Amino acid sequence: MRRLRIIGIGVGDPGFVTADAAQAMRELDVVFVLDKSGPAHELTLARQAVLEHFVPEPPRVVVIPDPPRDRQDPDYEGAVHRWREARVDVLVEALENELPSGGQAGILVWGDPSLYDGAIRVARDLVARDPQIEFDVIAGISSIHALCARHRIPLNRVSGAVEITTGRRLKEAWPEGVDDVFIMLDSHLVCREYAGEEIDIYWGAYLGTQDEILVAGRLGEKIDEIQRLRDEARERKGWVMDSYLLRRNPADAT
Ligand SMILES: C[S@@+](CC[C@H](N)C(=O)[O-])C[C@H]1O[C@@H](n2cnc3c(N)ncnc32)[C@H](O)[C@@H]1O
């Protein structure tokens, strides 16, 4: 039997790694790293640093170039599907090569594997293709939890709902029926469109790393500062990863 372990490692700070994740890392025979070339390569190195922090003699790490995803394809869903299929192909091959007589392979997932990450879907597709493979998932501290902890705020208001969504969707419209919205994957700070409204923003970039930046306050008063800090950081590092909570009508019950 071959076992694939999808291990959430938190967002960079070794303190975010759970005891379960550390234990799972120690049990691995091989680690697969789906490496995105370019700036995200720094995240690959960060994953390896977390592994070495917990496993002094780490298992072998096999870097698998992540199949490219066609981001210009107007058929967004189709492009994502094809990308997932290509990822399954490379993983099937890697499992056969690296674990010819069984054992455990791990994929270290940034944050929590259930949140805007393709690894669980790929693992499900993999198992559907080959019943000799099983997989499990180890939870991790997500950027949502890291952001709320760093700002010392609860995610939701009392009995309130929160929508977790993307910059792309916020650009289309403010989600219906909620005042609290958590935005991920926004490369353009689309929240600027709401700067005239009674909204507080809790923003964080590079959470859990030594480059961490935090800003909180009224959106209209903070958006230029956030934009400037974000632009400077991107210029300096070549990439930026940030998230934010928007709280509309913040004077209402918290
Ligand atoms: C592909 S998603 C992965 C989310 C991840 N699985 C998690 O649990 O946070 C990438 C998005 O997560 C957010 N993110 C991940 N790590 C972050 C960090 N260290 N600081 C701020 N935002 C982060 C950003 O919004 C980024 O665009």
Encoded tokens for 172 = 């289309």
Cα–Cα separations (whole angstroms), residue 181 to 29, 199, 213:
40, 11, 20
Q: Which atom of ligand 1 lies at the shortest distance from residue 12's CA? A: 19
Q: What is the pLDDT of residue 98?
A: 94
C-beta 189 within 6 A of ligand 1: no
What pLDDT is recorded for position 53?
Answer: 93
Residue 185, ligand 1, Cβ within 6 A: yes
Q: How far apart are CA 153 and CA 216, in angstroms?
A: 11
Does the Cβ of 25 fall within 6 Å of ligand 1? no
Cα–Cα distance list, 50 to 13, 63, 79, 237 (Å): 8, 16, 31, 20
pLDDT score of 46:
83
> Cβ(244) to ligand 1 under 6 A?
no
This prediction's pTM: 0.92
Give the mutation target among 11, 117, 186 for probing the ligand 1 site: most ligand atoms within 8 A of CB. Answer: 11
pLDDT tens for the chain, 254 residues long, are 899 999 999 998 899 999 999 999 999 999 998 766 665 677 778 888 899 999 989 899 998 888 887 778 888 888 888 888 898 999 999 999 999 999 999 999 999 999 999 899 989 999 998 888 999 999 999 999 999 999 999 999 999 999 999 999 999 999 999 999 999 999 999 999 999 999 999 999 999 999 999 999 999 999 999 999 999 999 998 889 999 999 999 887 66
Nearest CA to ligand 1 atom 17: 143
Q: How much distance in Å is there from the Cα of 242 to the middle of ligand 1?
A: 7
pLDDT for the residue 173: 97
Which pLDDT belongs to residue 204?
98
Ligand 1 atom nearest residue 208's Cα = 19
pLDDT of the residue at 37: 61
Ligand 1 contact via 117 beta carbon (within 6 Å):
yes
Q: Is 104 in the pocket of ligand 1 (CB under 6 A)?
A: no
Closest ligand 1 atom, residue 111 Cα: 8
pLDDT digits (tens, 9 = 90+) for 1-22: 899 999 999 998 899 999 999 9
pLDDT score for 68? 81
**In angstroms, what is the span from residue 101 Cα to ligand 1's centroid?**
35
Is the distance from the beta carbon of residue 243 to the nearest atom of ligand 1 less than 6 Å? Answer: yes
* Residue whose tokens read 């909620």: 178
